[in-house]
Structure 1
């Protein structure tokens, strides 16, 4: 070293050393002429001196092809360390920004050219730290005010680390002190460069860095959420190196921040997390202690929205599993030698995770699951989505080992399946299917059915449906009837009026049918009861089509042609099921809606179920029962009776129950009682009676048997306030008269027409026309009587009354009355002529009277 400083005092050297000394002496002389300029008072003078030094140093680089780089570096070492370095370091505090920039550039140039860059570190590092570090980084600005210069200084620090390697270790304190400040620099480029420098420092000094690594974690974590995504990536990578070559104690401090970066909008940031975590799982010295904390982060990448990141996470995980398997080969010897095939119903046997991956998850599951189950309820939607996705991945790896953790898993699924986020629900249904695949149904049914018994909920039904969907058919077979029976219980199938509840209940039935297939034959009855309930409660809400599809599927697995056959085979048991509670029904009873579904879907099968149906109707339609229920039931019965030949009378057996219908149902409900409710019931009963007699399913004789009892009741309903009741009553009387064939007692028969005449004053033209039509039929019945002369006085009265309405303001009524008089004119034409002529001059318009007289004149003479 003395030869470099004072070559003239050195002892004689060999040719090579003499050459080196001469070159160093020449450089020293060149530098000595310029160095005084660095201390000039003027900024311009110092700048010119620095520029001149730059030219000298750049010109002094060996350019000849045969030049020896090592010899040139050795010759440069002495002048650099003793002459140039101290003066350049002083220029780092130069008032002129341009001078400081040139000094930094020359320092970098000197480090690259020197034979032993490490010799500069004792002076360089304190100077760099003095320019970059402030006592309180968060409050005070760094000594170097220029952003570009701070960047150049950090780059110089990084260069020193790269050039000196492990020799940098004694100067870690200064470097870390500087980096702690620059990692929080306002200039994003400085932060990025600082991250790269910190990572290089960790790799260069692994034996000593662990003593300083923890002091860098704080600043790094403060920068991990920086607004520039490149800074975030650099921080993640630097953190990876700092922990990899530093202290594993910092893992716990870092993981929450890494977990947050999994939600980063920039794919490169998420990818950086995957790579760093994967690297730790492969290479971290204490990785076995952190498996349960690191595995969830890596597995979370399996569902990344960028396929490349998901694929990379999967590849890294596979490497981790293989490495762990190799490291623990002795422990896994039996499982490796006698490897079990994938479960028969594994969802993806071709891509089943390797043994090492499965064992890693299984052995750490008890530590991972509590956190996942907790985060699945987090208030942040993104956290819930990630946790739900992670749970599915864990269950796929755990396979049947999840049995011992089943209770907390099901609790978490029950909560998560009620989430408003569709992605959470989707992942949790997938998890439930996996549980159904790997866990014995005897185990999971005990837990889930117990929960449903205590508090039925849409989420509980969805979990049950998913469990069933994932369960192998062979395992599910012994439990199909148990599930169906449980679902048919009133507290479950009627557990809520919420539409979502109905959807989930229907999903349960669909799952049983699709998973159990032909095994459902023994459970068809309770399954049909559930479908009837869903159709009753939620069919109008939009589930009707889905229920029909499920009915068709159930019919198919039972070997039937369609839902009609399904109801035909089970209509009697269904009615018996409903009859069990019919004495307690009210207008709000679900059973009323269920009965409506059974009656509307059974079709011709109802003709075979009259022994079960009629007693229910008779009991529920008694006047003492709930009025609202009777109204609904009459409405249902009306719909059935309108198509009686295709429904209740499909077997021609309805006539055997007519007495019951008339005496026990229609007569009590047609009796007059005060109040609007009673009037509404009479209207419903009249409508139901009309549906029965007009359906075409009854013969004239059967209607004749009914009319003797019902005619007095119907005549009273002509006075009802309800227009519909009066109209239908007129139609019923008309039908009764048409089918009477003279069997009505004359005293009763004579009392009919005055009641009909009153209806000609009705406020409704429809009722007036219907009453007129019934009077025509009455007149026709008189004509068929052998003793029609006995009715002459009644007919005269009827003629007179009808002639009054022949002058009605309504033309439709005039036309109808004219037709009625024409129809009745054959009875006593002379009498009608006389009565018509008597009122002709009283009418506003004689037109209709004249038409009637013309008709009477055209009649053939009476025999």
Structure 2
């Protein structure tokens, strides 16, 4: 080979050279002198020869026509052989010289038959998937791909016969470890597709797999390049590959780099506008472009919206005959369209409507995907599609409702937010008669927080005029036990409240006929055991309902509807247990109705009487007694707000308190007695009873109260002492002597109580007993009892607790007026026995200071 090259260099000019123009002949001679160096054995010699060729080619350019012959005949074959030189530097110079030669040649396409196979041989091995490329240097691989790109740009359509070699090389370089090689390969693939539009489709499918393997590359610029190249490859290739690309493109919509998402948006928009068989892929491409309309970057969302508008206008123009009636008789936006000024164009709306049945199943599947990002995108896309579909939503309503019921239970707030937006659009575009007919069976079968949220959102989006005929039916359904008592979960209560607030905000004054039902729902929410902390929200809902009903406040609502609520509850009260939701609702009503209770006594008292009978569940009675006690403490503002409670006093005492104060064994019975005596104390101390009424209660209840002084409960003993003191201090009406005398021994025993509070209360009650004895004229016949009481009190005057000592001293001081001399003698008899005689001496001083008896 070396001898052949040398012979070519020194041979005299032959017929070929003689036929060349003088400039070409001169260039051939100059190159011939340098070419033998390319075959030198030493790396240095070959490199110097290549550098000399570089200087020759970089010299002022000769005429391309004169350069073409020496280039193709002498230089090209030798430089191609240098691409396999063992020296990396020589290979790099050879690639550079090949590029210079292609640019200077008059007919660069003539080099393609030899250039393309040589490049493919260096860039792609026989088994590219398993073996590395023959060219080991990544910078050289980049240079070779750039040379291939140059050949594509200069060769144009002439590359068609050499597509196999070009594609074979690109399939390897698209997976090259060097990111720059991948990017250059993507640009080269795009250029190749544009250069050979009539033949590229025969080879395009073989590039899809390597492109998709690179679409998730760690460098975002590579990802962008791959997406753009894929768009061009599909545009000029086979549409069969679209299905292979779409999952990868959809995944890139979640890319954290905005440039990647923007690239997907542009490519998909370009396909929708220019792809030859785009009509076949509308239902697959539209979701991708519309998803970009909700991109977090405003410029991407704006660009996507602009592309989508162009797509709609182009489709509208292409289908003018089909849309003639709709174009000639353009319908205005629906009266309650959420954004009529930005309503999508007719073409966009028709595209969505005609493809919705194909798009919807995939969205319904993805909206419950395990990947959060997928769920968020699907929920956003669903809202966008429904905004385009408008009243055509109706034919897909059942599927939509089932999907929204599932999606609104999502823990991701972004998913729930988009789904509630979709539900609002259903309310806007679908008749209430239709959506209510579908949603009620779902809620009846399985009431859920998400179902109520969907219903509230639909109602919120519904126009007032269309909802007006259905307000009463909706309120009645919500007030049904299957819904308002469907769950005790807090979120369930929140969404039930949302339904009420949505009805009131949309219906406004039209809700006046729904007050009892909506009040029933609000009371049910307050009674939910798991809905604690919703008090403020319930109050806001009540205020809103009161405002539309009468312009007043929540107390006006109770005043207007308490009777109906109590009648409704009374129907089931015989079946209540401690866990019945109706019991909790009744307790809520009693606790919050305030002055309205005074107007509803004819309904309230019978329910209380029935619930507090001894044969009812003890735990239920405890709950009711607790609620009754709180009400009786503020009786003037609640049950006696109309001054009529006295009419029911006899029922309260004889039918409620007396039976529950009877002694029965067991801790539960003791707890009920404690609750009953607490109720009696609340009633007695509320100042709603006259002296006569207190006297009547005293005559009836004093025996039971005396028995509760022996209860294990400290509260019961304490309250009983206070009640006895109050009974004794009530003026007028002397007690039966035998009953009166029985009181003080029971109180005396309480002076030994373990509780200081009880001992103090007992002392105060004994003072009242002594005072009442002085006032009713029975003093002479009770001297022996008083003497016994003096003696016992003097014992407790030496109590270990100084506070009790002081209380007993006050009792003795106050009671000394009955028999002062007797008390003085008893005191003098025990003074020396006390650990501290101080209080005995104070008592004696008091007795001595008294004026002599008249």
Cα shift readout 1:257-287 (whole Å, capped 9, x = no counterpart): 1111111111111111100000000000000
The residue that corresponds to 1:212 in the other structure is 203
Shift of 1:838: 2.2
> Distance between the aligned counterparts of 1:154 and 1:756, measured in 2?
110
The residue that corresponds to 1:796 in the other structure is 787
The residue that corresponds to 1:783 in the other structure is 774
> Distance between the aligned counterparts of 2:13 and 2:594, measured in 1?
121
- Are the equivalent residues in 2 in contact too, given 1:137–1:184 (CA < 8 A)? no
> Distance between the aligned counterparts of 1:699 and 1:299, measured in 2?
77
1:142 partner SS: coil
1:316-355 matches, cutoff 5 A: 316-355=307-346
Shift of 1:539: 8.0
> Distance between the aligned counterparts of 1:87 and 1:60, measured in 2?
22
Shift of 1:839: 2.1
The residue that corresponds to 1:674 in the other structure is 665
1:55 partner SS: helix
> Distance between the aligned counterparts of 2:638 and 2:832, measured in 1?
57
Shift of 1:486: 0.9
Shift of 1:842: 2.5
- Are the equivalent residues in 2 in contact too, given 1:742–1:784 (CA < 8 A)? no
> Distance between the aligned counterparts of 1:57 and 1:861, measured in 2?
147
The residue that corresponds to 1:829 in the other structure is 820
Give runs of ≥4 in structure 1 deviating > 3 Å. Answer: 5-12
The residue that corresponds to 1:396 in the other structure is 387
Is 1:547 aligned with 2:538?
Answer: yes
- Are the equivalent residues in 2 in contact too, given 1:214–1:247 (CA < 8 A)? yes
1:277-292 matches, cutoff 5 A: 277-292=268-283
- Are the equivalent residues in 1 in contact too, given 2:634–2:686 (CA < 8 A)? yes
The residue that corresponds to 2:504 in the other structure is 513
Q: 1:626 to 1:407 in 2, by over 3 A?
A: same
Is 1:578 aligned with 2:569?
Answer: yes
- Are the equivalent residues in 1 in contact too, given 2:771–2:814 (CA < 8 A)? yes
> Distance between the aligned counterparts of 2:631 and 2:643, measured in 1?
15
Q: 2:719 aligns with which of 728, 731, 739?
A: 728
1:807 partner SS: coil
Is 1:32 aligned with 2:11?
Answer: no
1:285 partner SS: coil
Is 1:265 aligned with 2:256?
Answer: yes
> Distance between the aligned counterparts of 1:390 and 1:563, measured in 2?
42
The residue that corresponds to 2:6 in the other structure is none
Q: 1:437 to 1:569 in 2, by over 3 A?
A: same
- Are the equivalent residues in 2 in contact too, given 1:742–1:781 (CA < 8 A)? no
Q: 1:255 to 1:859 in 2, by over 3 A?
A: same
> Distance between the aligned counterparts of 2:576 and 2:823, measured in 1?
58
1:542 partner SS: coil
Q: 1:812 to 1:442 in 2, by over 3 A?
A: same
The residue that corresponds to 1:859 in the other structure is 850
1:698-777 matches, cutoff 5 A: 698-777=689-768
1:342-421 matches, cutoff 5 A: 342-421=333-412
Shift of 1:843: 2.4
Shift of 1:800: 1.7
Shift of 1:60: 4.0
> Distance between the aligned counterparts of 1:113 and 1:277, measured in 2?
39
Shift of 1:6: 11
The residue that corresponds to 2:134 in the other structure is 143
Q: 1:282 to 1:6 in 2, by over 3 A?
A: farther
Gaps of at least 5 residues in structure 1 are: 13-17, 63-71
The residue that corresponds to 1:697 in the other structure is 688
The residue that corresponds to 2:294 in the other structure is 303
Shift of 1:530: 0.7
Shift of 1:592: 2.3
The residue that corresponds to 2:428 in the other structure is 437
- Are the equivalent residues in 1 in contact too, given 2:489–2:530 (CA < 8 A)? no
- Are the equivalent residues in 1 in contact too, given 2:490–2:530 (CA < 8 A)? no
Greater shift in the superposed pair: 771-780 or 840-849? 840-849
Greater shift in the superposed pair: 587-596 or 604-613? 587-596
Q: 2:222 aligns with which of 222, 227, 231?
A: 231
Shift of 1:743: 2.2
1:775 partner SS: helix
1:521-540 matches, cutoff 5 A: 521-537=512-528
> Distance between the aligned counterparts of 2:366 and 2:16, measured in 1?
75
Cα shift readout 1:428-468 (whole Å, capped 9, x = no counterpart): 11111111111111111111111000000111111111111
| TM-score where L is the length of structure 1 | 0.96
> Distance between the aligned counterparts of 2:17 and 2:709, measured in 1?
145
- Are the equivalent residues in 2 in contact too, given 1:538–1:544 (CA < 8 A)? no
2:762 partner SS: helix
The residue that corresponds to 2:800 in the other structure is 809
Is 1:605 aligned with 2:624?
Answer: no
> Distance between the aligned counterparts of 1:838 and 1:39, measured in 2?
144
1:135 partner SS: coil
> Distance between the aligned counterparts of 1:853 and 1:185, measured in 2?
115
RMSD between aligned residues: 1.5
The residue that corresponds to 2:466 in the other structure is 475
> Distance between the aligned counterparts of 1:694 and 1:406, measured in 2?
62
Is 1:58 aligned with 2:49?
Answer: no
Q: 1:6 to 1:451 in 2, by over 3 A?
A: farther
The residue that corresponds to 1:68 in the other structure is none
> Distance between the aligned counterparts of 2:842 and 2:55, measured in 1?
134
- Are the equivalent residues in 2 in contact too, given 1:300–1:390 (CA < 8 A)? yes
> Distance between the aligned counterparts of 1:213 and 1:800, measured in 2?
118
Tell me the number of residue pairs that the alignment of Structure 1 and Structure 2 aligns.
Answer: 844
Shift of 1:114: 0.8
> Distance between the aligned counterparts of 1:818 and 1:125, measured in 2?
122
The residue that corresponds to 1:69 in the other structure is none
